[in-house]
Amino acid sequence: MSKVLMKGNEAIAEAAIRAGCRYFFGYPITPQNEIPAYMAKRMPETGGCFIQAESEVSAINMVYGAAGAGARVMTSSSSPGISLKQEGISYMAAAELPCVIVNMVRGGPGLGGIQPAQSDYFQATKGGGHGDYHLVVLAPSTIQEAADLVIEGFDIADQYRNPVMILGDGILGQMMEPVEFRFSNRRELPPKTWATTGHTGERPRNIINSLIIDPQALEDHVNRIYQKYGHIMKNEVKVECCNCDNADIIVAAYGTTSRIVKSVIYLARQEGIDVGLIRPITLWPFPANEFSRWADRQHVKAFLTVEMSTGQMVEDVRLGVNGKKPVFFYGRTGGMVPEPSAILEEIKKVMRSVMK
């Protein structure tokens, strides 16, 4: 397979098709419009189905139906549209329906703007809808990784019967990079014996449902889902550590921001500061142990979390570090992107304060 130069949004759409997704239901919103446009073109060629729903509410419920019918199905949107999808997402998590949901985050709250942001971290990782549940949240930083994670994301969704979210931002969606569609470590997946495919008398009928009116039964159901989450937390954590071995200070960042931090590592070295990076690839399950492990190391003086938000992931970093070292925060929001020089300044400030 050779590499092609593709926009992030298009690569995500193509990766989904390669992963066997044949159903896409969406609604236009910037900065992810290339995904539905690509699907509108490609789905008919593959014998699949693209529908532009009348709203995000409708789109996610189409996803519910299609997933319940046993299909690989995807939807995509950006922040305001993802807010509308939260009801359906909660129902899907409760009914244990697999699907992939893409959020190309833009500045909020409200209608906000259309420039890149990371201010939907809480919504994505702490349950944006009501009730006890989690999504598996994957945060690619390059287009290659986005394609890989979409392909793997479908497998994760099917393996655990849970919605998976790809959390990107406007930059990842709009930029172009070389990408290759590859299938490393594909999983053995259980057959979808639970799907409502018409039972034709060959098996007991199936019901896809999230109503469990008896509190004891509902508690049992939620506990069972949480046992599943336990497995996910044990088996699915993904994290990249870079330059941490001798680092004076470790920066935590994900997605686009982590790439900017990688530029800063180089700048900092020229100033004699050794900066490491911990980049969570799964935002849920969060790589808390990785933070704990590095926090134990003598040479690490402090952590600095950098986000395109007013400080959301930093709360999970603090839980991971657990008071062993100070955790600082720097962020821009509203669609502003942190500049390398500003991050470097922040690193120096942190160094001065911990050296005192």
Ligand X SMILES: Cc1ncc(C[n+]2csc(CCOP(=O)(O)OP(=O)(O)O)c2C)c(N)n1
Closest distance of CB 107 from ligand X, Å: 12
Per-residue CA distances from 219 to 90, 128, 213 (Å) = 16, 20, 10
Pairing between β-strand 136-138 and β-strand 282-284 as defined by DSSP bridges: antiparallel
Closest distance of CB 309 from other proteins, Å: 17
Asked if residue 109 has a cis previous peptide bond (ω within 30° of 0), the answer is yes
**Which member of 54, 188, 202, 214 binds other proteins (CB under 8 A)?**
54
- Which residues, listed in sequence order, are joined to residue 105 by a DSSP beta bridge? 169
**Which member of 209, 235, 310, 341 binds other proteins (CB under 8 A)?**
341
User: DSSP states of 79-109 as a string?
Assistant: HHHHHHHHHHHHHHHHTT--EEEEEEEBS-S
Q: Is residue 146 within 8 Å of residue 139, measured between CB atoms? A: no
Closer residue to other proteins in complex, CB, 23/286? 23
Q: Side chain identity at 106, as an amino acid letter?
A: R
- Which residues, listed in sequence order, are joined to residue 251 by a DSSP beta bridge? 277, 304
Closer residue to ligand X in complex, CB, 28/198? 28
Residues 230-249 that bind other proteins (CB under 8 A): none
Q: Is 189 in the site for other proteins (CB under 8 A)?
A: no
Closer residue to ligand X in complex, CB, 32/305? 32
Q: Tokens for 186?
A: 């594909």
Q: Is 344 in the site for other proteins (CB under 8 A)?
A: no
Q: How many whole angstroms separate alpha carbon 8 and alpha carbon 34?
A: 9
Partner from ligand X, other proteins, none binding residue 340, C-beta < 5-8 Å depending on class: other proteins
Site residues for ligand X per CB under 6 A: 27-29, 56, 80-81, 84, 111
Q: Which spans of this chain sit near other proteins (rule: CB under 8 A)?
A: 3, 5, 27-31, 33, 36-37, 40-41, 44, 50-52, 54-56, 80, 110-111, 114, 170-171, 174-178, 256, 259-260, 262-263, 266, 337, 339-341
